[in-house]
Amino acid sequence: MSGKRSLGRFFTEYAVVIIFLVITLASIKPSGLSLVYIVQEMLIRLGRNSFLVLALLLPIYAGMGLNFGMTLGAMAGQIGLIFAINWNISGVQGLAFAALLGMPISLAMGWVCGAVLNRAKGREMVTGYILAYFINGIYQFIVLYLMGSVIPITSPAILLSRGYGIRNTLNLEGVRQSLDKLLLLRLGPFALPMATYMVIALLCLFIIWFRKSKLGQDMRAVGHDMAVAGMSGIAVDQTRIVAIIISTVLACFGQIIFLQNMGNLATYNAHDQTSFFAVAAILVGGASVKKATIPNVIIGVVLLHSLFVVSPLAGQKLFGSAMIGEYFRSFIGYGVIALSLVLYAWRSRRETERARESLRGGASGAVAVGEGAP
């Protein structure tokens, strides 16, 4: 293909990343933040968010788009944490306990989510999104009404004054940053939570390995073309469900890591933003609905969050109102998701058209699809 076209391709390919990079760099200056500060923030946020974002990869491989249903996993993780706090299990053990407790829940949730998405093929994303809201309702019902009344909660400190239902915000005193602090490496002005990084690295290794496995291969096949995969005997629906289950469980762990770093848990809202941040991050990193890599994740987290760090102050300086920065960053977040979804849909249509154009007129080699059986 001609150099010009490939250059154009490159820009449509990385439009999102480029736009984002520009905005971020532009707003660093006015924000007046020191580079050291920003870098430190990045180091923290990499540990905090990467795991969650990585949870998105498998469903993308399986051609199910961005898994907005990951929120289900996040809720499972929070339930795990609530119990850990309830029994006052502190330190890394507390986190481990929460994870172990959340795992079976997120397994079940993932299965539900996968089954639902299989009934909405081609509409996975919006369905996953709504499913997250639906389950959120059930989560609130359990946590707000059943906990303390039906489900025994021993620690009065986390209960609402009315005697049942969990408080709006839980203090994660016992487990706060216990993973980050486990192996804190001081490097000049920076502090690196090595333990967290190791966990993330492990996950990356797992994903790399997984792509080499038979299941990973099947997932890719299903992702490319369900019909063909099915014809060759791959259990399409089951494979898709597995992809979602793994993603959900990872999201559960991811949320726990996220919260231990934050240090407190907004019982009823903490999960609302999970999928939004994760999806925005991976897209900012240059991933698309059909294609994503581990570098996309890392780049995405850094880019997105560097903007999130600087934008409020930039807004403050430029418009004299921090709120503008706040709004601006969520505008950017939503905008990026919208933009890359649009670009993807639009580009894939263009691709198919281009593919067909080559067969126009007296071109040799007819179309590959027959009229089927008469």
Partner 1 sequence: MRNLRQLVTDFGWPRIIIFLFLVLLFLGAPFVRVRIDASIADVLNRFGQNGVFVLAMVPMIQSGCGLNFGLSFGIIAGLLGATLSMQFGWHGFLGFFGAIALAAPFAVLLGWLYGKLLNKVKGEEMTIAMYVGFAGVMFMCIMWLLLPYTSPNMVWGYAGKGLRTTITVEGYWLRILNDFLAIRVGEFFVIPTGLLLFVGLCAALMWLFLRTKTGTAMTAVGSNPIYARASGISVDRMRTISVILSTVLGAVGILVYEQSFGFIQLYTAPLTMPLAAVAAILIGGASINKASMLNVVVGAFLFQGLLTMTPSVINSALQTDMSEVIRIIVSNGMILYALTRKTKAAS
Partner 2 sequence: MGQANPLLSFEHVTKDFYENVVLHDVCFDLRGGEILGLVGENGAGKTTLMRILFGMPVIAQTGGYQGRVCIEGEEVRFASPFDALEAGIGMVHQEFSLIPGFTTTENILLNREDMKPTLLNAVFGDRLSVLDRAAMRRKAEAAIARLGVKLDPDTLVSEMPVGHKQFTEIAREINRENTRILVLDEPTAVLTETEAEVLLGALRRLAAQDIAIIFISHRLHEVLRVADRLLVLRDGKKVKDTPVAGVTVRDVASWMVGREVSAERAPEAAEQALGPELLAVEHLWVDMPGETVRDVSFTVRQGEIFGIGGLAGQGKLGIPNGIMGLFPAGGTIRFQGRPLPLNSPRAVLERGLGFVSEDRRGVGLLLDEGLDWNLAFTAMQIRGQYLRPLLGGLVRVRDERGMRKLTEEYVRMLDIKCQSPRQKAKELSGGNQQKVCLARAFAVKPRLLFVSEPTRGIDVGAKKLVLDALRRANRESGTTIVMVSSELEELRAVCDRVAIVDEGRIAGILSPQADLSDFGLLMAGERAAQEAHHA
Partner 3 sequence: MRGVSISPKVRRHRLLIRVALLAVYVGLATLAFVTGKGHTVLIDNKDTEQAEGIDGVLVAVNGGEQLELYRGDRDKATVQGRSMRVRLEVFADGTIVEKRLRLPLGQDMLLLSLPSLLAGSEPALVPFVPAAASAPVEEEAFSSEDLSEEELPPLEPPAP
- Is residue 356 close enough to count as binding partner 2 by CB under 8 A? yes
Binding partner at 212 among partner 2, partner 1, partner 3, none, C-beta below 5 to 8 Å by kind: partner 2
Binding partner at 126 among partner 3, partner 1, partner 2, none, C-beta below 5 to 8 Å by kind: partner 1
Is the Cβ of residue 67 or residue 286 nearer to partner 3 in the bound state? 67
The answer to whether residues 251 and 55 touch, using CB atoms and an 8 Å cutoff, is yes
Query: How is residue 278 written in tokens?
Result: 């994760």
Tokens 């539900």 belong to residue:
112
Is the Cβ of residue 147 or residue 245 nearer to partner 2 in the bound state? 245
Show Cβ contacts of residue 192 under 8 Å, excluding neighbours closer than 6 positions.
43, 184, 185, 186
Among 13, 39, 42, 91, binds partner 3 (CB under 8 A): 91
Binding partner at 188 among partner 2, partner 1, partner 3, none, C-beta below 5 to 8 Å by kind: none
Show Cβ contacts of residue 337 under 8 Å, excluding neighbours closer than 6 positions.
276, 279, 280, 283
**CB neighbours (10 Å) of residue 190?**
13
- Is residue 359 close enough to count as binding partner 2 by CB under 8 A? yes
- Is residue 371 close enough to count as binding partner 2 by CB under 8 A? yes
The Cα 190–Cα 239 span in angstroms is 43
Tell me the H-state helices in 320-374: 322-357
Show Cβ contacts of residue 227 under 8 Å, excluding neighbours closer than 6 positions.
none
**Residues of the shown chain interacting with partner 1 in the complex, contacts defined by CB under 8 A:** 116, 119-120, 122-123, 125-127, 129-131, 133-134, 136-138, 140-141, 144-145, 162, 319, 321, 323-324, 327-328, 330-331, 334-335, 337-338, 341-342, 345-346, 349
Is the Cβ of residue 34 or residue 93 nearer to partner 3 in the bound state? 93
Question: How far from the centroid of its chain's Cα atoms is residue 275's Cα?
Answer: 5
Binding mask 249-278 for partner 3 (x = CB under 8 A): -------------------xx--xx--x--
